Amino acid sequence: MIEIQNFSETIIDNIEKVIIGKRHPVELAVISLLCQGHLLIEDVPGVGKTVLARSLARSLGCAFSRIQFTPDMLPSDVTGVSIYNQVSGQFEFRPGPVMAQIVLADEINRATPKTQASLLEAMEEQQITVDGRTHPLPRPFMVFATQNPIEYEGTFPLPEAQLDRFLLRLRLGYPEIDDEIDVLDRQQFRHPVYSLEKVVSEEELLAAQEKVKSVFVAPMVKRYIVDLTRQTRQHAEVYLGASPRGSLALYRTGQARAAMQGRDYVLPDDIKALVKPTLAHRVILGPAARLRDLTAEQVLDEILTRVPVPGGDFKGDRSV
């Protein structure tokens, strides 16, 4: 898995020319990319959510599209529309901004549920259907969705069905003081994102995405994944726990994290490090927990201390 480790380091080092002091969120973004998953970035304005998506797209040389969601936006503004051509006498499909490889759905919770739902088919099936005709999306395809957690007026919270489609949720947070000074220096004349160059090819990315799937996951680690997920469904403070898609998210991201560290097998530490990014947005707390300002992350911390960590040989016998 050294190839994937070098591949990932190349992308991360390139992005860190722009996103300063945020190594862990950048690594999570690359994990999501390797797993062919979608990413939800929830944070306050101005911390680099849009820049992260643009930096990743430029590092890959992928087609990038940004959709600014607003309450008056229609589903056809996302997917595209069929227009009648009077010359040919036929309807022609005019693709919408979702027909790109890296799609930034900016402030997704400002759009109505109907418009939000227009992304569901694209995220799950990598295709869109307009006027009864199916149009495949390009590969690779990844959605970066952002939302502001402090502004609730004029917003429509994402339904559980759509939250479940996001492989990971992350927060960037404010930079440290030295990092913020570095940001000022780097942007004195020109934003550094515009000087980023392509560092890997699409072919290398597609090959890495396939190779990650071969990372070995021992039966005891699989049991650990399922035990953690099932605990979210049985916790007294949880109204709705993580679905089997949450277990699969832990499984896939664990494979990617192991490969990024040069291993061809998953450790329990890989799973523990990814529990909150993969499951927190899938856990819906009960009313009593919300009144006490309890968070999904706190519940997951409690579950991590409760569920025994497996021990033994995680490399396993690959011949079985």
Tens digits of per-residue pLDDT, 6-61?
Answer: 999 999 999 999 999 999 999 999 999 999 999 999 888 888 888 999 999 999 99
Rounded to the nearest angstrom, the gap between the alpha carbon of residue 299 and the centroid of all alpha carbons in its chain is 21
Residue 33 identity: L
Cβ atoms of residues 253 and 278 within 8 Å:
yes
For the whole model, what pTM was predicted? 0.90
Is the Cα torsion angle 171, 174, 177, 178 positive or negative in sign? positive
Spatial distance between the Cα atoms of 53 and 13, rounded to a whole number of angstroms: 15
Write out the two tokens for 318. Answer: 């690959």
Alpha helices in the chain (DSSP H): 2-15, 23-34, 49-60, 76-79, 113-117, 120-125, 160-163, 177-186, 202-212, 219-234, 244-260, 268-279, 287-291, 296-306
pLDDT at 320: 43
The number of residues making up the chain comes to 320
Between CA 296 and CA 135 the distance in angstroms is 37
Residue 134 phi/psi, 5° resolution?
-95, 135
Cα–Cα distances (Å) from 307 to 80, 182, 194, 223, 273, in that order, read: 47, 42, 46, 11, 14
User: Distance between CA atoms of 196 and 234, rounded to whole angstroms?
Assistant: 47
- Whole-angstrom Cα distance, residue 167 to residue 186? 32
As a whole number of angstroms, the distance between CA 109 and CA 156 comes to: 5
Collect the ranges in the chain with pLDDT lower than 50. Answer: 319-320
> Using CA atoms, how far apart are residues 140 and 207, in angstroms rounded to an integer?
11
Strands 80-85 and 90-95: antiparallel
3 state DSSP class of 262: coil
**The pLDDT value given to residue 151:** 62
Give the DSSP per-residue string, 166-207: -SEEE---PPPHHHHHHHHHHTSSS-GGGG----S-HHHHHH
Instruction: Measure the CA–CA gap between 226 and 87, rounded to whole angstroms.
Output: 58
pLDDT for res 142: 93
What local confidence, expressed as pLDDT, does residue 150 receive?
Answer: 65
Which residue segments constitute the domains of the chain, with CATH numbers given?
Answer: 2-209 (3.40.50.300), 214-306 (1.10.8.80)
Tokens 């009960």 — which residue? 286
Report d(CA 65, CA 73) in Å as an integer.
16
**β-pairing verdict for 80-85 and 284-285:** unpaired
Q: Whole-angstrom Cα distance, residue 197 to residue 187? A: 17
Return the structure tokens found at 61: 């040389």
